[in-house]
Structures are given as structure tokens and as C-alpha cells.
Structure 1
Amino acid sequence: MTKVLFVCLGNICRSTMAEAVFRDKVEKAGLSADIQISSAATGSWNLGDAPHKGTAELLDSKGISYKGIYSTKITDEEFEEYDYIIGMDESNLVNLKKLSPNPVFNSKIHLLLSESIGEERTEVPDPYYTGDFNLTYKLVDMGTDKWLNKIREELKKG
């Protein structure tokens, strides 16, 4: 089983969107038994909150479920448990490395768009501040496609 954790600052916009979108793609690919997906925050401002209204509205418009997704803060155990810890921007990566209980886990930390060959952006802007949930969705959709392809190939080899 491959375990994927999406992370952003507050876990109400980008990482919750990535969790829901990736979960939807994994289910449609018939890989739910092979890939575990969750999301978390690096901060604790929104703990227990449902996805942001803008994220919820966008996911609703795409027919993507976000049932059961609530903001949590990444734990020491998750650094050990998850195979991929995927941040949305460089700030998330810096925070994740600070929060990591052991530098050995830093090799698990990646940017969502690091697998998006040819994409000029490397970061997913935070729609909490930009208000542009459509751009966030476009980038999350593209990034999760690339990660699904990468993990699918690893599962075939494994």
C-alpha cells in the first residue's frame, strides 16, 4: 500500500482539494485498495474545520466528494507512516522539514507540481488569499494526474 499525504498551511483549501481530487481519481482507476490518501496542515488555525467554502463549491461543481475531510495538523507519526508527503508550495516544504521529527523523513517531502514536467509553475497559490479556486483546481488536477501516473508505475513494478 502506498500512502500519500497532501499538506498546506491550514488544510482547508489546497490540500483538502488535492485529497478529494486524488481520492476521486484513485477510485476511478480502481486503486483504492492500493493507495491510501489523506491531508494535513502545517499550522493549527483551522483544526476540525471542513474545507473552505470556495473549495467545497468547486468540488461540488465537479461532482467530487469531500465527505469526511476535516482539517488536521500533521503528526510525527504521519512523517513515518506516509510514503509521500506532498506540499503545495515552498513555504509548506520549509515548514514540513522544520516539523519533521527526523531528517531521514525529508526524502518523502515533495512539491505537488514537482512531477509536472513542462509546467512553468512550481507552486500552487493559496486561494484563501488569491480567491482563485479555479486556478488552484487546474494545478491540483494536473499535479494529481502526474502523481497518480508515478504511483501507478511504482505499483506495477512492486
Structure 2
Amino acid sequence: MNKVNVLFVCMGNICRSPTAHGVFEALVEQYNLSDKISVGSAGTHAYHVGEAPDERSQAVALTRGYDLSTQQSRLITKQDFEAFDYILAMDKANLYSLSKVSPVQDRVFSLMDFAPERDESEVPDPYYGGDRGFENVLTMIEVASQGLLNHILKSNPNLSH
């Protein structure tokens, strides 16, 4: 059986997408699916390539048990569109950027589409805000990550066996 590959994408790959990467990876581990689902993150812009996630993202994530310290920012590549089954944009701008260059449109989604119980359609960029923004982003990502995992399990019933 092939793995289901999931990629989270934001602009610089230092705040939102690494947070989603860490949250979803922990969720996958919690469900004992690490051998069946792989997780990654990338950015649509090369502003921070090679850098660790933003210190504020890391600090807020740690308060809820997510360790983002081993991640490094990278730019999305053409190969990612073939390698990943789910490519999840954090906001409309990044969704648009991905949709423009993706040869496989049915793999590109908005992360918040998997959180219909939330009013927000985008995960806002907390970079220029305070700690409260990072906490809000983390909460949104936790809810959407559970919805995404539920969707993946429903779409791939062989994963839960």
C-alpha cells in the first residue's frame, strides 16, 4: 500500500504551514498511522528557505505539546504536485498561487475546507501580530487537522485496518 502524502503550504513556511505540519504529524502518530500517512510543509515564496519555524509559532505550539524545532522552511517544488496527495493552502492567496502552477488541480485544497464548523475560510498570517494570533491559528489548525484526517480515513478505508 502506498502512503498518503500530505503537504501544508503558506507563504514563507515559518508560521502557519509548519504549525499545521506539526499538529497533523502528531495527530497521525496519535492514530498510529505514521507508517501510512506522511506529512510535510512548504512555502510559496523563498523568503525564509532553510530557517526554523518562527520562534512564536514554536513557543505556542510547545504549550500544547507540538514540537516544531526539527522543521526547516523550504520552497514548494514542481515535484511536490506529483508526490503529495493533499496540498493544503492556508489562505486564498496561497491557494490561488498553488492552483496557477499545479498540474493536478484535484490535489490542492484550502485547509479550512476541512473545518466546516468554523466560520473562517482562511488561516490568517500571525507573523505581524501578537501571541494571541498564534494561539488562534493553532486552534484553527487543530480543528481543521482533525477534519482532514477524518476525510482521509473516510476516503481511504484501508488505512484504518
Shared fold per TM-score greater than 0.5: yes
Aligned length: 155
Please state how far the C-alpha of 1:154 moved relative to its aligned partner. Answer: 2.2
Aligned to 1:49: 51
Q: Any idea what the Cα deviations from partners look like across 1:30-52, whole Å, max 9, x if unmatched? A: 00011010000000000001000
Superposed structure 1 runs of 4+ greater than 4 Å apart:
none
Counterpart-to-counterpart distance in 2, 1:65 and 1:29: 18
Pairing of 1:6-21 with structure 2 (within 5 A): 6-21=8-23
1:62 aligns with 2:82: no
Aligned to 2:109: 110
What is the DSSP-based 3-state SS (H/G/I as helix, E as strand, rest coil) of the residue aligned with 1:76?
coil
| Residue identity (%) | 35
Q: Is residue 8–residue 41 contact of structure 1 (8 Å, CA) maintained in 2?
A: yes
1:119 aligns with 2:118: yes
Counterpart-to-counterpart distance in 1, 2:70 and 2:76: 17
Q: Any idea what the Cα deviations from partners look like across 1:51-79, whole Å, max 9, x if unmatched? A: 00110101111121224211000000001
Q: Would the alpha carbon gap of residues 53 and 67 (structure 1) be closer, same or farther in structure 2, given more than 3 Å must change?
A: closer
Aligned to 2:147: 146
Counterpart-to-counterpart distance in 1, 2:158 and 2:65: 32
Please state how far the C-alpha of 1:98 moved relative to its aligned partner. Answer: 2.5
TM-score (norm 1): 0.93
Please state how far the C-alpha of 1:120 moved relative to its aligned partner. Answer: 1.2
Aligned to 1:137: 138
Please state how far the C-alpha of 1:99 moved relative to its aligned partner. Answer: 3.1
Q: Which has the higher helix share?
A: 1
Counterpart-to-counterpart distance in 2, 1:54 and 1:67: 12
Aligned amino acid, residue 79 of structure 1: F
Aligned amino acid, residue 52 of structure 1: D
Q: CA RMSD in A?
A: 1.2
Please state how far the C-alpha of 1:130 moved relative to its aligned partner. Answer: 3.0
TM-score (norm 2): 0.92
- Where does structure 1 lack aligned partners over 5 or more consecutive residues? none
Aligned amino acid, residue 137 of structure 2: T
Aligned amino acid, residue 155 of structure 2: E
Aligned to 2:85: 83
Counterpart-to-counterpart distance in 1, 2:45 and 2:91: 14
Worse-superposed segment, 56-65 or 24-33: 56-65
- Where does structure 2 lack aligned partners over 5 or more consecutive residues? none
